[in-house]
Structure 1
Amino acid sequence: MSFNKSVRDSDVVNQNDSWHGIKSSEKCHEKVSSGPKYLRDKSWSDQLEDKVESVATHFHWAIHSRCKRDLNYEPKRIVLTKPIAEKLLLGVIHKSVIFVSPDHFVLARDTSHVESFNKTMKMFQDKRIVLSDANYHTQACLAVCHWNENVDRVFTMLHLFGILKGEMQSMKGKKNYKAPSYSYRNNIWKRQINSIICDHIFDLQDSFQKL
C-alpha cells in the first residue's frame, strides 16, 4: 500500500492483484461476522456469518465485469433485518481497498503466474541448501526451463468441495493437472553432447592442419 501511495499521483497505471485485494476484505468481514457473545450486535452480528463468501464473490465478479441482474433472484443468505448488521457490513465494504481504490483493480490483474514461478524457483533453490554462485545460476536457469515448459498445462479433472465460510466461489475446487514434462532435460543433454562433439571435431581438424 505504501508503494500504491507513492505512485497514486503519477502517470503510472497502477493495478493491484485482485485475489489479495478480495482476501484483505474477507479478513475484515470475518471480524464483524463472529466474536464474543458480549459484543454481539455491537462489534459483530450473527446475520453476517454467511456474507463473507458472498461479498467476496460479488467483488470478484464486479472486478471481472460479469455482473448480471436476475429478476427472479431469491436470496439464499440471511436477510439483514438488524440495523447494526447493515451498518457493520457497509462499514467493511466502504473501507475495503477495492471500494476505496477501484481504479487499481479495473484491469482485473492477478499475480498467479508470478506466484507459480516463485513456487517453481523454490523447487530448484531450496533455502535450506547452500549453493555456490555457479550452481545458484544453474538452478535458476533450470527453474525457468521447467516453468516455461509446464506453465498453464491442462488439467484432467476438477474436484469440487462444499462451501466453506470465507471461501470465494472462484476459488472452489482442486484441479488435477497432467504430470509435468521434462523435455528440456533432453534438450540440454543433446546440446551438451553436440557441443562436446563439435569441440572434438575442431580439435581433430586443428591437429590435421598442424600435420
Structure 2
Amino acid sequence: MSSNKITNAFEQMSDRERKLVYGGGSLVIVSLVIVIGIFVSRKVTAMEEQVATNSEALTTILDAAPSYLKNRREDKAIDEVLKQASGSSLQSTLLGIAKEIKFEKKYGADATSEVRLSDFVKFSNATEILADLTQNKKKKARRKRRRKKKRGEKSKRQLFLATIVVALDRVPDTALFQFLERVETHKQPMFGVSLDISRESPNREHFRAKLKVGQFRYGDDE
C-alpha cells in the first residue's frame, strides 16, 4: 500500500518537482559512491604502505642474515674453544707444549744429551680472575646465582682470565722460539701478557726467558 501511495504521489508531481527528486536521489548516490571510494582508497593506501614496510623489513633481515649466521658460527666456535680450555689447567697445557720440544744439551767440551724443554721450565704466580667484571657486578652475579640455586636453576658459566708466569732457564734460542711459536698457535688460544729475554753470555745455548701467559676460560665463581 505504501508503495502505491509513493507512486501516486510521484505521478501527481510536476515536472520540476520530479527533476528535483531525480537530482536529489542522484546526488545521494554519487555522495555514497564518493564516500565509499575514499574509504576504499584509504584502506588500499594503508595496505600498500604496510606491504612496503614489511618488504623493507624483510629486505633488512635478508641483508643481515649472512652476518648474523656468521656471528652465530663464530660465537659457537669461541664457546667450544672456551670449553676445551676449561678441561685442563693453563700450567698443564704449557707443560705439555714444553714436553714436545727436544734439543741437544751440551755437557762439557764434547758430551751432549737429548733433553726436553720441560726439564728447564718453572711456573709461578698462577692466577684466575673473573673477566671484565667490577666488584659490584661480581656481587650481583653471586646474588643471581644464589637465587637461581634456590629455584633449582643452573647458574650461567662465568668467563675467567687465567694467567701464569713461565720461567725458562739456560735454554737454546731455537727451543725458546719453538715454545713461543707453539704457545701462539696452540688449539687452545693463549696470548702473551709480557716477555723478558736475557742471555748470560754470547753463547746462544744460555738464554733465559720469563713469559707471562694469559688464557680465557670458563669456570665457577663461588
Bin of the TM-score, shorter chain as denominator length: under 0.3
TM-score, length of structure 1 as denominator length: 0.27
For the pair shown, which has the larger CA radius of gyration, 1 or 2? 2
Bigger relative contact order (CA 8 A; separation at least 6): 1
Q: Kindly indicate which of the two structures has a greater share of residues assigned to strand.
A: 2
